[in-house]
């Protein structure tokens, strides 16, 4: 979305605060022995409290209000009463919603309680790379150059990137142009970030896979070569200097 007036900025700020706070509180609420459905219900209550509508539920008919992916699920994990959280689980929560015609998106991966399976280096890499990528963005910067930065930093840390999932424009709908903010460089992509636009920047950092594959349920994504994937995501406002991180309240860098 291109911000052209104050009311649009206020609108995207409000919904960004809602989804960011919901993500942070859901992360804090997650406990060993809890089902992912119970965690999702909590997120739904938080969104409803602010008058916001779940984007995946309302727009795509997703069977949940938030996406909760556990361990080897890459994304679009379906909340379930049968899926019980355990100590050491690698969990990703993705929260996107609409309020008063404005949409925002954010997500984050974390380890539940003790890091029993040594996932922390992967989580830390994803956080660090997202921060470095966002710090690079301003009006006029090539989208492909940011993708190259993400892939290069992942390789430095011994990881890969998922190539068929991407960041995207957001604001008046959940997915807008540009829809190709990939985690690697496509040399033929000459598109640049534009000042005063809002975009969702997200990392998909992987231990083994480079492609996300959809399972038979029509939603859940897993890696083509197995392993684990972490995702962190902020909605930002592009400026001609440092970007404004609209979902800062999610605390994923804390």
119 is known to lie in a ligand binding site: no
Exposed e or buried b for every residue in 121-154, given b needs 16+ CB within 10 A?
ebbebbbbbbbebbeebeeeeebbebbbbbbebb
Nearest one of 150, 56, 172, 63 to 107, comparing CA atoms: 56
76 is known to lie in a ligand binding site: yes
Q: How many CA atoms lie within 13 A of 107 on its CB side?
A: 30
Q: What angle do CA 17, 106, 192 make, to 5 degrees?
A: 105
168 is known to lie in a ligand binding site: yes
58 is known to lie in a ligand binding site: no
Other CB atoms within 10 Å distance of the CB of residue 31: 12
DSSP string, 102-147: EEEEEEEEEE-SS-TT--HHHHHHHHHHHHHHHHH--TT-BHHHHH
17 is known to lie in a ligand binding site: no
To which residue do tokens 């309240």 refer? 249
- Tell me whether residue 208 is exposed, middle or buried, using C-beta atoms within 10 angstroms of its C-beta: 0 to 12, 13 to 18, 19 or more: middle
94 is known to lie in a ligand binding site: yes
Q: Are 125 and 152 in contact (CB under 8 A)?
A: no
175 is known to lie in a ligand binding site: yes
Tokens representing 254 are 């804390």
The DSSP bridge partners found for residue 223 are: 212
How many residues are recorded in the chain? 254
Tokens representing 186 are 């496509």
Residue ranges for the known binding site for a divalent metal cation are 94, 105, 168, 202, 233
Residue ranges for the known binding site for substrate are 76, 175
Residue ranges for the known binding site are 76, 94, 105, 168, 175, 202, 233
């Amino acid at each position: 979305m291109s911000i052209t007036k104050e009311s649009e900025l206020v609108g995207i700020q409000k919904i960004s605060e809602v989804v960011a706070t919901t993500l942070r509180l859901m992360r804090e609420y997650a406990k060993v022995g809890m089902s992912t459905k119970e965690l999702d219900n909590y997120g739904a209550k938080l969104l409803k409290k602010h008058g916001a509508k779940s984007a995946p539920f309302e727009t795509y008919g997703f069977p949940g209000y938030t996406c909760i992916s556990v361990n080897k699920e890459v994304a679009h994990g379906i909340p379930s009463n049968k899926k019980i959280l355990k100590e050491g689980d690698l969990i990703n929560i993705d929260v996107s919603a609409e309020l008063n015609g404005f949409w925002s998106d954010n997500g984050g991966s974390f380890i539940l309680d003790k890091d029993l399976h040594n996932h922390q280096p992967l989580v830390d890499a994803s956080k660090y790379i997202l921060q470095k990528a966002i710090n690079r963005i301003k009006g006029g910067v090539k989208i492909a150059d940011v993708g190259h930065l993400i892939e290069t930093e992942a390789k430095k840390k011994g990881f890969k990137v998922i190539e068929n999932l991407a960041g995207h424009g957001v604001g008046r709908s959940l997915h807008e142009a540009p829809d190709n903010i990939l985690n690697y460089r496509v040399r033929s992509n000459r598109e640049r970030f534009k000042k005063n636009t809002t975009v969702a920047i997200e990392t998909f950092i992987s231990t083994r896979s480079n492609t996300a594959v959809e399972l038979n349920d029509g939603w859940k994504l897993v890696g083509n070569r197995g392993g684990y994937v972490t995702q962190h995501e902020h909605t930002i406002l592009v400026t001609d200097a440092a970007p404004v991180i609209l979902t800062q309240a999610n605390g994923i860098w804390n």
